[in-house]
Amino acid sequence: MTKKKKINAREASLYALKKIAEEGAYANLALTEVLSTYKMDFRDRKLATEITYGVITYQLTLDWLIEQITGRPAEKLDRPVLHALRIGFYQLFYLDRIPAPAIVYSTVELIKRGKKRALAPFVNGVMRGAIRKKDSIAWPDPQRNLLDYLVLRYSHPAWLVKRWLKRLGRTETEKLLAANNVIPPTSVRVNTLRIGRTQLIDRLKKEKITVTPSSIVPDGLLVEKGGKLTALPAYRDGLFQIQGESAMLTSHILQPKPGAKVLDGCSAPGGKTTHLAQLMKNKGQIIALDLYEHRLALVEAAAQRLGIEIIETKCADITEFCRHNQEEFDYVLLDVPCSGLGVIRRKPDIKWRRQENDIETLAQMQRQIINAAAIALKPGGTLVYSTCTNEPEETDLQVEKFLAAHPEFAAMDFASALPTQLSGTVGKNGIQLFPHLHHVDGFFIAKLQKKHS
């Protein structure tokens, strides 16, 4: 077996950031690859994760700060130098527990160990200049230019901030932007086919993981302290699934009965699919669709680990599948592809990948999916439509247009499936969950019923 090379936290962050910038890798996948390739102690792994996500979260602002100190556009800097300076500036401006001299030293060392070591004196000068000018940098005045202030204060793209300001107003927009920059707790779903919530809490405690019960869903737990969850014996034994609370709530709102026939139209990677099976007590049939075999393999692996036997995966386009399976299903779940702007706090790189015109493009795709799924549902059947975003074109307006075009469908009341703190938040067409209001991922969930003819 090849011995793993040992690296430190800043080197790991540099490698991950290079993969994201040069290969277009997603932040979580790039970091996972780096952490599994190299040898690192637990503290360095934790710091590498914090720095990498911090740099991605505040990338726009970090580049602006670098420009204030260097006097030149960030994109004109050598790429390795820019990565190193982003890492250094993030620690200097956003982490208060690392001494400034240590930040300067570690940033210069990053350059010395690479191919741009001749630029080490430049990096040293920039970092020292940042320390001197840190408290005198002139930020935009919110009274004169609110948009620029919010964009730089919270490091979000201008088009998105402008969009939210128009819809939500300043106060709500600023709260949402702030919430997007706070790392959320990890949540897990108890596999009630194998263990109860109290029993899993005790089991995880023995494995040195501290969790508390979710107030949103009855089978959810919030992780307060612990290590790598997927390395735990409890995980390998199929006692829990890592899943967001909003995503868990989606399955509870559908509430499929044991013995039913269910279609999960956009199933991978399988969190909701396996949850549906769990709620059905592993009785009935679930057809799990996806366009790609490698993604369906994730669904199958999750089902096998959790001891679920009622899921059948099919690699198919949902529009074609539903055309050949009309009025076949008692329940349909559609967690459709979307802009993902409700989960920025978990996936900060998504705000830099998205453009405003993506929203309408995705809305058109969603329209095709829900129209196709309507055909596959039996009269009297239930359809849940969900997105991990709060943009109207993909959420409330999407359902409104669907209902106008499909008089055989009606919105259902699902307040009984919600915890007390959310029971008054359901709108005409569904529920909008926001990170700053409900302390969960931004989600939209609608529950529709096909009328008997």
User: What are the distances in angstroms from CA 415 to CA 164, 250, 427, 429?
Assistant: 27, 13, 10, 12
Sign of CA pseudo-dihedral 15, 21, 22, 27: positive
Closest CA to 17 of 35, 6, 31: 31
First-to-last C-alpha distance (Å) of the chain: 65
Residues 284, 288, 289: CA angle, nearest 5 degrees: 150
Q: How many helices (H) and strands (E) does the chain have?
A: 19, 12
**Phi, psi torsion values for 333, nearest 5 degrees:** -110, 130
Which of 372, 394, 393, 370 is closest to 448 using CA atoms?
Answer: 370
* CA distances (Å), origin 304, targets 118, 229, 243, 270: 53, 18, 17, 11
Cα–Cα distances (Å) from 364 to 73, 113, 368, 370, 391, in that order, read 37, 48, 6, 10, 13
Would strands 329-335 and 377-387 be described as parallel, antiparallel, or unpaired?
A: parallel
What single string gives the DSSP state of each residue in 390-405? --GGGTHHHHHHHHHH
Tokens, residue 400: 């409104």
Element containing residue 38 per DSSP (H, E): none
Of residues 266, 322, 338, 388, which has the active-site annotation?
Answer: 388
Catalytic residue check, 388: yes
Strands (E), 279-328: 285-290, 311-315
Non-local (6+) Cβ contacts of 376 within 8 A are 263, 321, 322, 325, 326, 327, 328, 329, 332
Q: Which residues, in sequence order, are CB contacts of 240 under 8 Å at separation 6+?
A: 188, 189, 190, 191, 200, 221, 229, 234
The residues assigned a catalytic role are 388
